[in-house]
Amino acid sequence: MVAAQVIAHAHDSAALVNQFLTAPPYGVRMSKKRTLKIGFGAVIGVLCLWMFLYVSTLFPYLGTASKGETKFPLGSVDASMPTIGTERMLLFKGQTAFIDYNVNSSDGGGVHFDVKPVMQFGFSDQTQVIRGNQSGRIEFEVKETGFYRFYHRFSLNGLSGSTSYSASWGAI
């Protein structure tokens, strides 16, 4: 009789442990649909907050990137982090688009920075190439309302050298 009670108690304990590990805390259960609604609402809330801060110019940044490249005579090594934010945005005539940068390069390497209409090929007349070890801000005048692209890429350099940069861009 005692052995049967011990076995029954062990079975009940195992069931309680299993329930504790698989069930949400305090017995609250949410459907997948409700969980998706809450997640979607949180994303929309964050986007609305960012849009308010951007429009009010309290936080005028649209994106950031950190990239690095080392070239050798027979190849190259890319040490880039993913870009966060958007590189394309509707800008209005009279706004000032900007790129804050920190460039470190050797052997003639550099970085092209430009803000140009999305459908424009090539570089704009405001493009700038930063070489050497520099940091600062480049400002671009928005001449007409439209969608613009914030461009930041390594400029062509020789067969060897190292270039890295971080950039944040936006508009005020």
pLDDT tens sequence across 142-172? 989 999 999 888 887 667 788 889 999 888 8
The whole-chain average pLDDT of the chain stands at 79
Write the CATH number of the domain with boundaries 61-171: 2.60.120
What is the pLDDT at residue 17?
62
Q: Tell me which of 29-38, 61-70, 85-94, 130-139 is least confident.
A: 29-38
Question: 163 Cβ partners below 8 Å, 6+ apart?
Answer: 68, 69, 70, 103, 104, 105, 106, 109, 110, 111, 154, 157
Residue 100 — pLDDT band, cuts 50, 70, 90? very high
pLDDT over 70 (residue 27) = no
pLDDT over 80 (residue 14) = no
Q: Are 163 and 69 a contacting pair, CB within 8 Å?
A: yes
In terms of pLDDT, which residue wins out, 141 or 59? 141
Q: Are 109 and 133 a contacting pair, CB within 8 Å?
A: no
Residue 64 CB-density burial (10 A; 0-12 exposed, 13-18 middle, 19+ buried): middle
Residue 28 — pLDDT band, cuts 50, 70, 90? low
CA 24 to each of CA 21, 27, 33, 64: distance values in angstroms, whole numbers, following the listed order: 8, 6, 16, 38
Pairing of strands 96-105, 110-117: unpaired
How far, in Å, CA of 27 to CA of 53, rounded? 39
Pairing of strands 133-141, 146-154: unpaired
Average of per-residue pLDDT across 47-66:
79
pLDDT over 90 (residue 137) = yes
CA 91 to each of CA 87, 95, 126, 149: distance values in angstroms, whole numbers, following the listed order: 12, 7, 16, 10
Average of per-residue pLDDT across 35-48:
83
How far, in Å, CA of 143 to CA of 148, rounded? 11
Domain boundaries, the chain: 61-171
What is the pLDDT at residue 7?
47
